Chains A and B, each alone.
Chain A
């Protein structure tokens, strides 16, 4: 391809503070409409905003997690535009003096090497209300739900450092993982607590110009972020090949039709310094306090896991991506189990099971101690891997101990040689032609017979012992 894509992302993240940004209303936009409102977030005459310290602290933590420098002084501006979802007639946002600048995240780039993507700045702003369009009889009506009005957001504005849909997706994933580690935000694209707008332009490969960009909105999953950008790159390439100019505008991604289409451009108004919200002046002590609250980030954790636990790079990265899981992992390891075994079981069995159930590990009844006891039964050959997987699934929702589940479900592994010999003898007798094949050199038959024997033992046979006996008998 003769063009190169230049991609920058603007990401809105909802901060999960208990209250809204400028009032004491609960920060729960999903409640019954207009339940969480007060004169400040409805902006009734005479109201004055007061900045939530908790929201500020959580926002600062998010900035630090993305390696940004908190500015000694930041301030709010009024972004002026008129829309029924905006009770003030302006949105309080930090346009001129953002909270933090100059951050970065590292991703694995297209060429497989670590690539550092720069963040231009992060600013705080308040969310707007939600409009609900309904029919009242035959009359269309619009209703406003102010629960979300004034909810705290940060907007993370990247530099245009990304060159492919893959890099953009990796950027969002990495940033989301780091933000989640701070505990400041849920960061769910599905729930709208993380929203991605992509700015995309093309240029001839090998040049370093910045051409007219197109903004794409409304991607509700990371995959959609990649797909929308990929679509837009093709669309713009076609335009350029046909000699059509690229026009600055905003497009909406349609996740059903998987295309972008132009949307009516939103009028962008001026940003006037707000005279009522005091500017934020950051002292050394406060900043130190915030830095001390910053937990270990996934990147640092990966390195430590490589060093301390002898994991492979892939295992280390899997175990450090999510804070809950990494803490779970270390708690299990503390119970005296070999780290690679723990990581292996978590990656191949626990994580997929959680995904199927759409739960986090905290939401299940599995604890590190219960999981450790299951793994130690595996270590001691009391149960085999097949049974272990069954027991794990039960542990997620059962209050019984792993031992009780093993006894009740009769998962205990059969390591009695006489019992297994009888099973194998029967199978050999039932499949003479297959045995013949094996003896002629078809090694695949071994696996087939193993499978039959395992099935005959209802999955409980000690696989090592089973293989030993089968090999002996076939010789």
Chain B
């Protein structure tokens, strides 16, 4: 069944696992996450009609834990940005409790910020990417949106951990998520990047300031830290992600599946026409940019990779002094869904993409950073592969700062 907000609607979502951790929890996924027999076109005509042959590891694990998979939302083409994404509409319409949205530059957290729910991007390597029709392999992962933080923790505890089908995952054993469910004891020190704070507009600064004040009241010690290379996150993300996207999308040639143009005289024309007709203008531009660095300016790509490693090291150094970093989640003047150019997309995800560059976990908490009705959100960024600790801090801060015993908003 297809609708304006669903690319696939599951008519029998009940799982046979009656006593699983996720029993009764309704989850909506995206059509770039393989669910056997469901359309899996990643929002692109390049995969026109492609139906998943087997479940992605994350999907299979949710099913086994009793989750009700209600269907697939609509998504942006190949998961780049949020244009046309309907996950938050499905959540606010009450048709699901939890939504999975791939987070390549902050999509899950920014979508959550736009609809007043929690949004979480796990550490890179925490969740198997097997069955995820990805675009930027070194940065993307399953993002989780939910009204309750407990739901996010439960989903993560089910889908996280080693998978033989994804050899790129680190060897560390799966973390203990039981710890995440207990609010962490304070004191805790959080850093705010001066360079990030400086670029906020007045209204954004006020909203973020409100959030910081509430967190301080909740027992968090906040200190300003310097990170002069902040603007490099965006540049590095743009170059590396576009190059990886260009490689990843190379497989969409119309030979084995997806849209095939019949207007060409030979395979080369078939290839060019199929791709030309398949991709939308925005993703096409992004792929072109990646191809530019691959074919015409490889040294710039190598430089970006080196810079990325340096950024990872320098952020790790900051964690010698703080337990977590705080960022606003979204920019008020940049619309992530309506962004018309690649640059506008990057403007809208400027504050979330650093965690994708470094592979760190990042939790968006809603309803803290408010100013005259606008919620720009607060993101907590923790150490890579230490997701339970970050979630535990999140539990404590959200419950205290939002001033209630319930974590529901």
Contact = CB atoms under 8 A, between A and B. Distances in A.
B247 A90 contact: yes
A354 interface: no
A277 B168 contact: yes
A89 B253 contact: yes
B56 A272 contact: no
Interface in A247-297: 269-270, 272-273, 275-278
Interface stretch (B107-115, B221-229, B294-302): B294-302
Contacts of B56: 46
B43 to A, nearest CB: 12
Contacts of A88: 250-251
A144 B243 CA distance: 27
A48 B294 contact: no
Contacts of B257: 44-45
B40 A82 contact: no
Contacts of A39: 53-54
Nearest to A131: B267
Interface string B253-274: 1011100000000010001000
A89 B164 CA distance: 25
B250 A278 contact: no
A46 B133 contact: yes
A55 to B, nearest CB: 14
B165 A270 contact: no
Q: Interface range on chain B: under 10, 10 to 19, 20 to 34, or 35 or more?
A: 35 or more
Interface in B42-67: 42, 47, 50, 52-54, 56
Interface in B316-368: none
Interface residues of A, number: 28
B168 A270 contact: no
Contacts of B253: 82, 84, 89
A272 B243 contact: yes
B298 A48 contact: no
Contacts of A49: 167
A235 interface: no
Contact of B267 (A42, A78, A142): A142
Contacts of B132: 46
Nearest to A270: B294
Nearest to B124: A275
B217 interface: no
Contact of A87 (B47, B130, B251): B251
A80 B295 CA distance: 9
A51 interface: yes
Nearest to B266: A142
Nearest to A144: B255
Given A46-B131, A51-B167, A277-B168, A82 B256 contact: no
B256 A46 contact: no
- Give the residue among A44, A50, A80, A87 with the most B Cβ atoms within 10 A: A44
Interface string B263-296: 0000100010000000000000000000000110
A43 interface: yes
Contacts of A144: 255
Contacts of B252: 89
A413 to B, nearest CB: 67
A44 B52 CA distance: 9
Interface in A49-84: 49-51, 78, 80, 82, 84
A90 B250 CA distance: 7
Contacts, number: 85
The interface residues of chain B, by DSSP majority, are classed as loop
Contact of B165 (A48, A84, A142, A269): A48
B34 interface: yes
A7 to B, nearest CB: 30
Contacts of B50: 45
A275 B251 contact: no
B381 to A, nearest CB: 21
Interface string A96-120: 0000000000000000000000000
A116 to B, nearest CB: 35
Given A142-B267, A273-B305, A48 B250 contact: no
B130 A82 contact: no
B299 to A, nearest CB: 11
A125 to B, nearest CB: 16
A278 to B, nearest CB: 5
Contacts of A270: 294-295, 298
Interface string B185-225: 00000000000000000000000000000000000000000
A369 B146 CA distance: 76
Given A84-B267, A144-B255, A277-B168, A45 B47 contact: yes
A87 B256 contact: yes
Contacts of B34: 45-46
B166 A48 contact: yes
B244 interface: yes
A46 B247 CA distance: 14
B168 A45 contact: no
B130 A46 contact: yes
B138 A45 contact: no
B137 interface: yes
B237 interface: no
B63 to A, nearest CB: 16
A44 B34 CA distance: 11
Contacts of B168: 48, 275-278
A50 B250 contact: no
Nearest to A42: B256
Interface in B117-143: 129-133, 137-138
Interface string A14-51: 00000000000000000000000001001111101111
Nearest to A81: B250
Contacts of A275: 137-138, 168, 244
B40 A80 contact: no
A144 B267 CA distance: 12
B249 interface: yes
A189 B79 CA distance: 46
A144 B271 CA distance: 14
Contact of A269 (B129, B166, B294): B294
Contacts of A276: 129, 137, 168
Contacts of B247: 78, 80, 89-90, 272
B52 A48 contact: no
Interface string B73-94: 0000000000000000000000
Contacts of B133: 45-46
Contacts of A273: 305
Nearest to A129: B255
A278 B167 contact: yes
Contacts of B243: 272
B4 to A, nearest CB: 24
A230 B93 CA distance: 77
A250 B256 CA distance: 30
A272 B247 CA distance: 9
Given A80-B247, A80-B250, A272-B244, 17 more contacts: A44-B257, A45-B42, A46-B34, A46-B133, A48-B130, A48-B165, A48-B168, A80-B294, A82-B271, A84-B253, A84-B255, A84-B271, A88-B250, A89-B247, A89-B249, A270-B294, A270-B298
Sort A-B residue pairs by CB-CB distance and give the 5 closest, nearest first.
A89-B250, A275-B138, A45-B133, A275-B137, A46-B131
21 contacts: A39-B53, A39-B54, A45-B32, A45-B34, A45-B133, A46-B40, A48-B130, A48-B167, A48-B168, A50-B167, A80-B247, A84-B253, A87-B256, A88-B250, A89-B250, A89-B251, A89-B252, A90-B250, A275-B138, A276-B129, A277-B168
